[in-house]
Amino acid sequence: MRDDARIAFHGTLQQLVAKVERGEMVPKLQASHAPPCKFWTAFQVINGIRHMVPVIHGPKGCTYSVASAYKMRGCEYRGVPLEPTTCTAQNETDVVYGGEGKLLEAVKEADQRYRPDLIVILSCCCSGITGDDVETVAQTAAREVNARVLAIRSEGFGGDFRSGYEDAFKVLMGLMEPRREVMKGTINIIGAREGPTYTEWVQDLNELERLVQAIGARVNGVLCGGCTVEQIRKAPSAEMNASWCYDWGQKLGDLMEQRFGLPYARTGQPYGPAATEEWIMGVATPLGLAEQAREVIRHELAAVSGELDTLRRSFDGRTALIEISEFPGPIRALSLASMAEEFGAHPVVINLHPYTVRERLPSIKFLLERGQNPEVILTRGIFALGSFNASASTQEDVAVIAAEYERAIYIGSPLRQPGVPQVNMTTITGYPQYGYQGIRNMAGLIESSMQHAGRPRSRLFRKVLYGD
């Protein structure tokens, strides 16, 4: 494709990484590609722990935002009942004089009212600006309440979204006991987050647990996707760690390996048969379960033979245009590109932003080392604004890109109207996407998109999204 006014970058993933590392692709707008702040992402991690009460040291608005986003959308997550979100409700006086005393009383009240196993204090921008010592308050409170008490410095200006996840996992390692008697045949699945609300990850985690059990192993806990404090405490005594997503599990896996000597299976996301086999064998071989695992793989592949034929028939000889929108996101998009290539397609990843590359550099380099180097196109509008939201200019860009390729198939947001067969990656009927259940679902999604490719898209819907 020629480089024209629409395109900010067109090349391979390796070439994009090189440009990012040389500092050649930096958006001019300060807020470009802004994801959730450090506070939000730290909350996501601890929100996945059962019988945990967060005490947010900040104004009510921050508390309402995370509670609305992560808790009010459903009444339970992986069997975990909806649990409370509390805060100190900082006001003008607290900002001027500090609120450490108020925070200590809030922790005591949360312990008395909810009787949790764990209380986690999270600082917000207001308490971060005033310099309230949340760590010392946590230490003091731990001597006066029954629950374990931890503190995470998570004020939004204190780091980016990545540091929120990683700092939360680091703090939670304080709950872990030294590695003693190893629990044979037991693993931890690490890197999960978000907790008691419905997300797209629920069924993917269930599929991983199903496969672990099928090879004769068991899961101590999913850290932190519905796990207990006891499961975190015992985590170092598992035989190994395996990641539900290498991108999010990598840091915790490395830290636990360094501190406790706990082995970590470094595998990518199990999209498609090859990556699924790699994930299973990455767990089974160190556990001495390789023979059982190979038999499980043979049985599972036979059960999805029809779906594998559908995927080969649908992908073979096509160009798979995979746009990074609100979902599938950057790492899943690269995993989808690998799966499409496995089935005979030429993958093109659209709108992988340099900010995303920089923040996920270890994971993307891991994928490059494994031979994943798809074609990447970045449009100027997304590069400048960094927004995943629907826009008329980006819709036009995607349609023009789709028209440049013969026999293209689009994989991404249903908000787009690219003018080619379109696989909706956000429909709830499409989960899980991991493993062999994922192969079934992906085949169904793609077969449906091919069957209905000729149906006209709504002009009214397009006008609502993009205007005239």
Q: How confident is the model at residue 425 (pLDDT cuts 50, 70, 90)?
A: confident
Residue 429's pLDDT band, with cuts at 50, 70 and 90, is low
Distance of alpha carbon 45 from alpha carbon 383, whole angstroms? 29
Dump strand ranges (E) for 130-206. Answer: 148-152, 183-190
pLDDT value at 29 more than 70 = no
Give 106-147 pLDDT, tens digit per residue: 999 999 999 999 999 999 998 998 899 999 999 999 999 999
**Within its chain, how far is the Cα of 7 from the centroid?**
27
Mean pLDDT, rounded, for 210-229: 95
Beta bridge partners of 123: 57
- Residue 80 — pLDDT band, cuts 50, 70, 90? low
| pLDDT value, residue 218 | 97
Query: Is 50 exceeded by the pLDDT of residue 198?
Result: no
- Asked whether residue 190 carries a pLDDT value surpassing 60, the answer given is yes
Q: What is the mean pLDDT of residues 71-97?
A: 71
The most confident of the ranges 221-230, 304-313, 405-414 is 304-313
Q: What is the pLDDT of residue 388?
A: 57
Q: What is the pLDDT of residue 133?
A: 94
Kind of pairing between the strands at 80-81 and 76-77: antiparallel
Q: What is the pLDDT of residues 145-155, one digit of tens each?
A: 999 999 999 99
Confidence of residue 326 (pLDDT cuts 50, 70, 90): low
d(CA 160, CA 254): 20
Burial class for 157, CB neighbours closer than 10 Å (0-12, 13-18, 19+): exposed
Structure confidence at residue 428 (pLDDT): 61
**pLDDT computed for residue 199 by the predictor:** 46
User: 389 versus 292: which is more confidently predicted?
Assistant: 292
Average per-residue pLDDT for the chain: 89
List of residues 6+ apart from 157 with CB closer than 8 A: 37, 38, 125, 128
Q: Which candidate, 134, 283, 228, 181, places its Cα nearest to that of 292?
A: 283
pLDDT of 30 > 80? The answer is no
The dihedrals phi and psi of 346, each to the nearest 5 degrees, come to -100, 110
The torsion angles phi and psi of 115, rounded to 5 degrees, stand at 50, 55
pTM of structure: 0.91
Stretch 175-203: mean pLDDT: 82
pLDDT in tens, 334-393: 999 999 999 999 999 999 999 889 888 999 999 999 999 999 999 988 888 766 565 788
pLDDT of residue 27 exceeding 80:
no
Give the percent of the chain with pLDDT over 70: 90
Contact residues for 430 (Cβ-Cβ < 8 A; gap 6+): 424, 441, 442, 444, 445
Tell which residue, 108, 119, 171, has the closest CA to residue 149: 119
Query: Residues near 409 by Cβ (< 8 Å), separated by ≥ 6?
Result: 314, 315, 318, 319, 320, 321, 345, 420, 421, 422, 423, 446, 449, 450
Tell me, what's the pLDDT at 84?
78
User: How large is the average pLDDT for residues 460-465?
Assistant: 84
Q: Which pLDDT score is estimated for 236?
A: 98
Q: Tell me how far apart the alpha carbons of residues 219 and 213 are, in angstroms, rounded to a whole number.
A: 8
Q: Encode pLDDT of 199-216 as tens digits.
A: 446 789 999 999 999 999
* pLDDT confidence bin for 95, thresholds 50/70/90: confident
Q: Which residue has the higher pLDDT, 194 or 150?
A: 150
